[in-house]
Each structure stands twice: as structure tokens, then as C-alpha cells.
């Protein structure tokens, strides 16, 4: 079998990953602790940042609808606990 016949498209891979994450209850509602870095308060109202620990990192976005409810402005170096939810777009 040729590689071209074995290969899947980017869209197929994204759909597969999305379905796997959506079906995992643990990943649909999870508390994560870490340190904020690379914080950006975007002009759209969305907040972009990296959440990291000593060994790893994950890129995050907080949409405007939730960011408006914050009682503080996140900053690089802050230690936080965030609630992560899977949202299907």
C-alpha cells in the first residue's frame, strides 16, 4: 500500500482528536494548577496565555464572555488554578 493511500487529511485528524476529547469526561471539566506566562490581553477581549509547571506547558484561551467576569487581571508569573472545559467549535 502506498503512503498516499494510508495518509489521512488534516481535517480527518482534527475530527478524530475532537471526538476523542469530547468523549472523555475527565477532560471535559478539569481543574489545572500552574503558572501563567506569555499573557496577552487581546483587543477582542479574549485572554491568551500559557499555563506551565516545571516540566510542561499548555496554551490557553479565555474567551471574552468569561474574561469579563474576572475580579483580577492575570499577569505573567501568577500561580493559578483554572477550570478547563472542552468546547466544541
Q: How far apart are CA 59 and CA 51, in angstroms?
A: 6
Q: Could you tell me the fold of the domain covering 3-85?
A: OB fold (Dihydrolipoamide Acetyltransferase, E2P) (2.40.50)
Domain boundaries, the chain: 3-85
pTM of the model: 0.77
pLDDT in tens, 71-81: 999 999 999 99
Q: Is 49 left (phi over 0), alpha (psi -120 to 50) or beta?
A: beta
**What pLDDT is attached to residue 88?**
55
Average pLDDT, integer, range 6-30: 90
Amino acid at each position: 500500500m502506498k503512503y498516499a493511500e494510508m495518509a489521512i487529511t488534516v481535517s480527518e485528524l482534527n475530527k478524530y482528536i475532537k471526538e476523542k476529547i469530547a468523549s472523555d469526561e475527565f477532560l471535559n471539566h478539569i481543574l489545572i494548577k500552574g503558572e501563567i506566562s506569555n499573557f496577552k490581553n487581546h483587543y477582542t477581549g479574549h485572554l491568551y496565555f500559557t499555563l506551565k509547571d516545571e516540566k510542561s506547558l499548555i496554551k490557553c484561551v479565555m474567551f471574552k464572555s468569561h474574561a469579563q467576569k474576572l475580579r483580577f487581571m492575570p499577569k505573567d508569573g501568577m500561580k493559578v488554578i483554572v477550570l478547563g472545559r472542552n468546547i466544541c467549535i
